[in-house]
Structure 1
């Protein structure tokens, strides 16, 4: 890499991991309100897989960049940005439109409002593994559901980075986490990460187990990125006046609305994405401070599953699609 170019990952058509290409491109210059980062580590997210496939909330316009989370050093600033940012070690908050900005590469331009410092004790690999997962969990559990001590919280797909963040957050707030995983392969690891209870859904009856754990009450909060037909079982496992927060659409089957259960229990079933938080400056500031403080005091510790070099970005995406990971997949430059 010369001073005037940088390796950047782009794709020219939607499809599988193999559409990702590493290209040597001119070093981007930040515009007004933007900074350029020299990137050290990149945190992968399921949203980027969906974006690459053309199945995300935003449609790509090839050739497209991608990537929400990276850690690195601010090496250039645009007009209107305080010069004190130069040289700072930061990571990016997913507060921008993917495709317009992207952080897969050796350098990237991002808006200054999407940049934050993280506790100095974290490594670059840990620093890139915080904002998406913890702010997603914060918006759902703290801001929307008002998680309080003693609440039972059912966390599906709990081995994801957001799921693990939710387990930590429930513990920090004095709640009781009930994590789900499809097979027993991840059960012990989820328990080691702090889950109070783990339900293996391929082997156990979800509703029956939740009723046993909660003394017949059901979970007050359900935090689910899957959707699909499983929503009916989640509604059955929720307590009266409970809330189900749907923050993803990993299921390939349609999602039926559990009307009679919702009527009988007066349930709230609510769609949610991280952008609800990051598009509101006041909420984002509160979330950022909450996450920073809990990272600093040790309540939260990013769980990194596997690290790939940038040259293996295709393999990293394949690994994410395999669903073998427990925690964050990171790519280093």
Structure 2
């Protein structure tokens, strides 16, 4: 038996429960790990509340990320052996491979032997953010040295990862936050410029920073009414990558502005990368190299105990964190 977090109806954080369930043996292509830390994502909050791409089948598990120790392997688990320290690249299903658990059976193809310098908490805060940002900025947008990239929700784990990757490339990251409260933190995290989405002269400031050109690449997980301002901030021939829907309001499509600037407005999902083995392996290699070189550094906002999962989700949804929210299990060092 193992303890897992599940929910039996859509709702707020309070619907999460810790249940005892049987632990299955890993299938041929699977690995079972003893979970030491879990990285939380807004996707899990949206899934729990019924606002995500995947629908729950109750009682439902949830969770995309984890780090821990291999304790059983399937017949085709390849390079993994009992005792290996591993972390998880988010698989296709948030429920089937739910990581909110003491023991989790996971697809071997999505596991990584991360650098030994990382703690379990840090390792659980790596793969969603860095592979998401790498896939969008490097694979899709082909971000180049000297180019401006505008990053909204910049204090999120993916936003901070995007800032780090932009700096690796030699691009110029413009961080956007809702308020000025995180201005200094974002500068310290590597942003070349920091703007707030609430400031009245937002587009004038983008124009000033970019010498009137606008940002060639815009990376946005919010959508909603602010999308029209992002179109205004984009350079002619630029690309706006929308990878989330955090805003509950409709997202306008300013057709004539998009046409007049010859813009690409593109939806983007992490699974575009993880569903293609060659891109998945390239993403893993890129992130590991950056972690080993120290140019990629996961930022942890706060940690919670496994028993505090409801509080952890409340904190996640408040939106005040800077970096990743992590849940640790009592047995983790």
TM-score tier by shorter-chain length is: over 0.9
C-alpha distance in structure 2 between counterparts of 1:84 and 1:97, whole Å: 22
Counterpart position of 2:291: 295
Counterpart position of 1:102: 98
Matching residue within 31, 39, 55 for 1:59: 55
Matching residue within 113, 116, 136 for 1:117: 113
Tell me, yes or no, if the aligned pair for 1:93 and 1:116 is still in contact at 8 Å: yes
- What's the TM-score, normalizing by structure 2? 0.97
1:32 aligns with 2:32: no
Stretches of structure 2 lacking an aligned partner (at least 5 in a row)? none
1:6 aligns with 2:2: yes
Counterpart position of 2:141: 145
Counterpart position of 2:267: 271
| Structure 2 SS opposite 1:229 | helix
| Structure 1 SS opposite 2:133 | helix
| Structure 2 SS opposite 1:240 | strand
| Structure 1 SS opposite 2:125 | coil
C-alpha distance in structure 1 between counterparts of 2:313 and 2:80, whole Å: 35
Matching residue within 242, 248, 251 for 2:247: 251
Tell me, yes or no, if the aligned pair for 1:96 and 1:114 is still in contact at 8 Å: no
Counterpart position of 1:89: 85
Matching residue within 181, 202, 208 for 2:204: 208
Tell me, yes or no, if the aligned pair for 1:77 and 1:83 is still in contact at 8 Å: no
1:300-329: per-residue Cα shift (whole Å, max 9, x none)? 100000000000000000000100100000
Shift, 1:203, TM fit: 2.9
Counterpart position of 1:19: 15
Counterpart position of 2:150: 154
Relative to structure 1, the CA distance from residue 24 to residue 203 in structure 2 (aligned partners, 3 Å threshold; closer, same or farther) is same
C-alpha distance in structure 1 between counterparts of 2:289 and 2:254, whole Å: 38
1:186 aligns with 2:182: yes
| Structure 1 SS opposite 2:109 | helix
Relative to structure 1, the CA distance from residue 14 to residue 174 in structure 2 (aligned partners, 3 Å threshold; closer, same or farther) is same
Matching residue within 231, 234, 237 for 2:233: 237
Q: Which runs of 4+ in 1 moved over 6 A?
A: none
Shift, 1:204, TM fit: 4.4
- What's the TM-score, normalizing by structure 1? 0.97
| Structure 2 SS opposite 1:41 | strand
Shift, 1:182, TM fit: 1.1
Tell me, yes or no, if the aligned pair for 2:73 and 2:80 is still in contact at 8 Å: no
